[in-house]
Amino acid sequence: MKTISVLVNARTKSTRMPRKLILPFAGTTLVDITLEKLDRMNFLRTATLP
């Protein structure tokens, strides 16, 4: 089984709201929400490559 890595691109240099992806939002951050959604996607954990 091969390991698959996922890269989440999070721009922090926005001009209107810098670092918006890591600012508190509804008790968490937008990056945390994205990572939780990726974790719930079962195919990421069980995918196998030949």
- Does residue 14 lie within any of the structural domains? no
User: Does a structural domain hold residue 8?
Assistant: no
SS3 content of the chain, % helix, strand, coil (to 5): 40, 5, 60
DSSP assignment, residue 26?
Answer: T
Q: pLDDT tens digit string along 2-49?
A: 777 777 888 888 899 888 888 998 999 988 888 888 888 765 655 555
Q: How confident is the model at residue 12, as a pLDDT? A: 84
In a domain, 7, yes or no: no
Helix ranges restricted to H, the chain: 30-40, 42-46
The answer to whether residue 4 sits within a structural domain is no
Which residue range forms the structural domain that includes residue 33? 22-50
Indicate the number of domains in the chain: 1
Structure tokens at 7: 């890269």
